[in-house]
């Protein structure tokens, strides 16, 4: 008998969490071995190790409690990794030396597998004077480019994939450039972006008042608040970024607002953290706790839930002592406050088992009740730990009880905290659970609705072939098991594709009321939602008490949401276009290449790359079509023989593309996006991530000079001639890990349904 509820669960365990030797030989022979490994590692800090190992194992058994991925993969492995998922780094100083010291700290943290968050509001705006060097500042976005290149370098060097969050205050003078940064799809690809929105700004938006953009008390610009708000909304409407963080509400609701100020979050936004703060995450699997599902008597036993929460809190508290930390400041911050984030997953499935429609007032009410129960049990468990092991070092009873969410907690809990102290300053958070939800049998993720009742997943086999398997939602499969495979699902079964955006907001607000930190959630919006209705989603999120808001609207820029049932009835246009092969479909090629005239007009450019012995020479020849010059061929030459193979290959490939005609400006953007894992170089005051990116810049310069492009960064981001034909479902972006077109937006992060890859880790 296997413990796994679905084949995908076992595959995720084997890929992500199973302990193996360096050559791939399994050490964990079964998932029970993995549970035992984790339980033993977290019980190692206890006096009675045997008793607590047994209790911890029981909590893990059958996926009832799901520690975050880094704990599941790293606990008990004796590897130099952190068990904390993400960190917010120190405050970035407004000095060159301080900025690059922060870059070094970020690299060390990411090297151990931690995602990072940064507030870039502390860096002076572009054009501000720099004293002592007779120069103007390049601004925070230029340094974000450096962070972006570092993250890609660390990731490509073999460490766990990187993830970063960048925040900027809504009153920073460079906020408009920050808002529009993701319009260039090749820029800041390793970052999630969020604007720190203040209460005074929201009031100015409502009143259509003016808004000062300032730094160090100096007003640089004054804008209309509503205009700036509309720019934020339009960017996220078009590009799904930036997100919005209601930063004043976060600080007001923080149990530690008497000793810290928050200005940044981890990459998925569910953990607002102070400088050097870390997020330690885990989830109660609500779908596994429902007794008598799909009956009138369906329920979750309160005592069972309380006991499971208490064990989970103890396990998470022990992680603080069992984990390694990339930096000493991170260790001290974690031990002084012992902040943890216990959340839930499988919530939507649990609601279905009780016959409740996700997004309905009844479902929101049940969600609030469950989350309050978990919050109470978490606080009381942490109080018991304080009685046994001591309160967190910065605990001050009077200040703590007069802060944040503790002011709303029940009197019996407050009295217990006053009498005995509390071990963990903050205890609850709703983390992204995309991968661990698959590992738990494809339960619904976090507090998200069911994404799809079922979908087809392509699985790569050892011989290189791919097989298809159906992946069914946990609750749907349970309903089928009870009522038969052909049973019609009741009306209360809803999914992310059909749910109204304001129903999403209702559920997030219901959960937020009893969550100390924040919530990682995506509000899915239909492609045809009007801009005014889209803005209403954010305003409703603010008015209903949410701490932030992240939306996803499928479109040509963001990619389509994975479709699971409807077939694409569109017929590809009968034009000479290049199409990608998909699902056994045909490939349609463009017309024959343009004929080469005897003579062409062109230019040769010399490119000197720092630390390279020989320069590279680029010759770009143009052809005149319809009275306009357009690039026709490229020749790339260098005396450096190490460059010979790739310069010849690049010459042939780029020239082949140019000769096919059409808008070939995407070639520039593709080259500019290439990074060198060894690091790029500063060229004429601008950071260039690789020599290939430099070549792309030279070609772009030529295209601008000949009138083919209007300006820098104004080329296409992808090949406009690529068309997919004969496929069963509309496709979005390909997964960068496995190449499958199964990317979906879940909990604020694009996640692959085929392999579990997530940009946010």
Catalytic residues: 266, 268, 270
Which residues, 6 or more positions from 415, have their beta carbon under 8 angstroms from its beta carbon?
Answer: none
Burial per residue of 55-89, b for 16 or more beta-carbon CB atoms within 10 angstroms, e otherwise? bbbbbbbebbbbbbbbbbbbbbbeeebbbbbbbbb
Alpha carbons 367 and 62: distance in angstroms, whole number: 23
Is the bond preceding 172 in cis, omega lying within 30 degrees of 0? no
Alpha carbons 746 and 395: distance in angstroms, whole number: 36
Angle at 28 between CA 22 and CA 33, to 5 degrees: 155
Among 503, 506, 508, 510, smallest CA distance to 519 is for 508
Among 592, 607, 610, smallest CA distance to 650 is for 607
SS3 214: strand
Q: DSSP state, 287?
A: G
SS3 14: helix
Question: What contacts 24+ positions apart, CB below 8 Å, involve 678-683?
Answer: 678/153, 679/149, 679/153, 680/149, 681/609, 681/610, 681/611, 682/610, 683/609, 683/610
Please give the sequence-ordered ranges of beta strands (E in DSSP) within 22-90, or none if there are none.
65-67, 86-88
Alpha carbons 561 and 527: distance in angstroms, whole number: 10
Cβ-contact 433, 445 below 8 angstroms: yes
SS3 181: helix
For residue 549, give the H/E element and its range.
strand 548-549
Helix extents (H) in 61-192: 69-74, 96-111, 140-156, 175-179
Alpha carbons 606 and 361: distance in angstroms, whole number: 66
Angle at 723 between CA 664 and CA 629, to 5 degrees: 20
Among 545, 506, 512, 448, smallest CA distance to 202 is for 545
SS3 93: coil
Task: Tally Cβ neighbours within 10 Å of residue 491.
Answer: 7
Cβ-contact 695, 703 below 8 angstroms: no
Angle at 563 between CA 559 and CA 569, to 5 degrees: 95
Q: Are strands 723-724 and 210-215 parallel, antiparallel or unpaired?
A: unpaired
For 65, 365, 587, the CA distances from 752, given in Å and listed in that order, are 23, 31, 25
Of the chain, the end-to-end C-alpha distance in Å amounts to 31
Among 162, 103, 87, 518, smallest CA distance to 332 is for 87
């Amino acid at each position: 008998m296997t413990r796994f509820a679905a084949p995908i669960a076992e595959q995720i365990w084997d890929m992500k969490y199973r302990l193996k030797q360096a050559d791939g030989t399994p050490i964990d022979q079964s998932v029970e071995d993995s549970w035992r490994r984790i339980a033993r590692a977290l019980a190692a800090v206890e006096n009675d190790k045997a008793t607590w190992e047994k209790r911890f194992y029981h909590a893990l058994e059958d996926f009832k409690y799901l520690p975050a991925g880094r704990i599941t993969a790293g606990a008990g492995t004796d590897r130099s990794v952190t068990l904390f998922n993400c960190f917010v780094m120190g405050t970035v100083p407004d000095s060159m030396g301080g900025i690059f010291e922060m870059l070094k700290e970020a690299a060390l943290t990411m090297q151990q597998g931690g995602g990072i968050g940064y507030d870039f509001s502390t860096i002076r705006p572009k054009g501000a004077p720099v004293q002592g060097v007779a120069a103007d500042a390049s601004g925070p976005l230029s340094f974000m480019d450096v962070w972006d290149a570092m993250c890609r370098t660390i990731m490509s060097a073999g460490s766990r994939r990187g993830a970063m969050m960048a925040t900027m205050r809504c009153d920073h003078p460079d906020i408009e450039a920050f808002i529009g940064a993701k319009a260039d799809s090749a820029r800041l690809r390793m970052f999630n972006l969020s604007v720190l929105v203040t209460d005074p700004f929201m009031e100015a938006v409502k009143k259509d008042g003016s808004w000062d953009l300032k730094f160090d008390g100096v007003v640089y610009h004054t804008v209309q608040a509503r205009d700036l708000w509309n720019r934020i909304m339009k960017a996220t409407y078009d590009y799904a970024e930036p997100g919005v963080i209601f930063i004043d509400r976060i600080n007001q609701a923080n149990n530690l607002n008497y000793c810290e100020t928050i200005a940044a979050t981890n990459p998925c936004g569910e953990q607002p953290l102070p400088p050097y703060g870390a997020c330690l995450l885990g989830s109660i699997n609500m779908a596994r706790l429902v007794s008598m599902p799909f009956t009138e008597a369906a329920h979750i036993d309160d005592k069972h839930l309380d006991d499971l929460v208490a064990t989970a809190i103890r396990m998470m508290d022990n992680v603080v002592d069992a984990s390694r930390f990339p930096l000493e400041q991170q260790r001290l911050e974690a031990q002084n406050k012992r902040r943890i984030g216990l959340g839930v997953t499988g919530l939507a499935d649990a609601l279905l088992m009780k016959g409740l429609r996700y997004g309905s007032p009844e479902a929101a009410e049940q969600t609030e009740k469950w989350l309050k129960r978990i919050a109470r049990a978490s606080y009381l468990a942490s109080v018991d730990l304080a009685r046994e092991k001591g309160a967190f070092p910065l605990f001050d009873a009077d200040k703590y009880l007069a802060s944040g969410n503790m002011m709303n907690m029940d009197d019996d809990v407050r009295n217990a905290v006053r009498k005995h102290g509390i071990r963990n300053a903050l205890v609850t958070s709703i983390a992204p659970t995309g991968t661990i939800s698959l590992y738990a049998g494809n339960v619904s993720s976090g507090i998200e609705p069911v994404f799809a009742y079922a979908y087809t997943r392509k699985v790569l086999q050892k011989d290189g072939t791919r097989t298809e398997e159906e992946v069914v939602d946990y609750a749907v499969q349970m309903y089928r098991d009870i009522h038969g495979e052909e049973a019609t699902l009741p009306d209360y079964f809803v999914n992310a594709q059909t749910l109204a955006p304001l129903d999403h907001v209702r559920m997030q607000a219901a959960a937020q009321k009893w969550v100390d930190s924040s919530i990682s959630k995506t509000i899915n919006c239909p492609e045809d939602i009007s801009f005014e209705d889209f803005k209403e989603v954010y305003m409703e999120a603010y008015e209903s008490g949410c701490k932030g808001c992240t939306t996803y609207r499928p479109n040509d820029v963001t990619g389509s949401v994975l479709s699971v049932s409807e077939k694409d009835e569109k017929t590809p246009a009968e034009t000479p276009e290049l199409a990608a092969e998909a699902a056994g479909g045909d490939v349609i090629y463009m017309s024959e290449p343009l004929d080469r005239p005897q003579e062409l007009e062109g230019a040769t450019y010399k490119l000197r790359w720092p630390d390279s012995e020989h320069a590279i020479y680029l010759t770009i020849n143009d052809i005149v079509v319809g009275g306009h010059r357009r690039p026709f061929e490229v020749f790339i030459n260098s005396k450096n023989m190490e460059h010979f193979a790739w310069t010849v290959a690049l010459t042939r490939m780029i020239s082949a593309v140019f000769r096919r005609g059409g808008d070939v400006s995407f070639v520039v953007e593709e080259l500019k996006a290439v990074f060198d894992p060894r690091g790029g170089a500063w060229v004429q005051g601008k950071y260039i991530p690789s020599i290939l990116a430099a070549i792309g810049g030279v070609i772009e310069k030529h295209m601008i000079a000949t009138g083919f492009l209007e300006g820098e960064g104004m080329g296409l981001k992808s090949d406009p001639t690529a068309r997919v034909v004969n496929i069963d479902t509309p496709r979005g972006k390909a997964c960068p890990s496995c190449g499958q077109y199964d990317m979906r937006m879940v909990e604020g992060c694009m996640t692959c349904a085929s392999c579990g890859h997530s940009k946010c880790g």
